[in-house]
């Protein structure tokens, strides 16, 4: 029985005291069931939110690790390019390279 039909029967003038007591008991049971259902739903929502937060945290961790690897790769590439430039600067003739220290 739903809450509306219980309220209609409860409001009826031809309801005996015993029937009213039974209806009040059923209303209380319905309220308990509703509260239990809401508590179960809240618990499920909390679990879903916890799982979602863990997923977001893991994604953030993976992004940070990927960024760290990318920055390391860039540093290595920059060092290799700097080394290549240093070699180039040392091997080209002085008259073509105004940046060499022995350029006159």
**What's the pLDDT tens digit per position in 59-76?**
999 999 999 999 999 999
Across the range 29-49, mean pLDDT stands at 96
Whether the model clears a pTM of 0.75, i.e. scores above it, the answer is no
Across the range 74-86, mean pLDDT stands at 94
Task: Between 21 and 94, name the one with better pLDDT.
Answer: 21
**With left for phi above 0 and alpha for psi between -120 and 50, is residue 33 left, alpha or beta?**
alpha
Rg of the chain's alpha carbons, rounded to an integer?
39
Question: CA torsion angle for 77, 78, 84, 87 (degrees, to 10)?
Answer: -140
Cβ pair 9, 25 in contact under 8 A: no
Q: Coil, strand or helix: which one is 2?
A: coil
The rounded distance, in Å, linking the Cα atoms of 103 and 95 is 7
What is the 3-class SS of 66-97, one letter each residue?
Answer: HHHHHHHHHHHHHHHHHHHHHHHHHHCCHHHC
């Amino acid at each position: 029985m739903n809450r509306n039909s219980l309220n209609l029967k409860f409001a009826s003038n031809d309801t005996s005291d015993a029937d009213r007591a039974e209806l009040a008991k059923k209303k209380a049971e319905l309220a308990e069931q509703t509260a239990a259902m809401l508590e179960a739903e809240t618990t499920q929502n909390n679990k879903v939110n916890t799982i979602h937060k863990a997923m977001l945290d893991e994604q953030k961790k993976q992004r940070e690790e990927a960024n760290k690897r990318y920055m390391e790769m860039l540093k290595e590439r920059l060092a290799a390019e700097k080394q290549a430039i240093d070699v180039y600067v040392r091997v080209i003739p002085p008259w073509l390279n105004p940046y060499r220290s022995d350029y006159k």
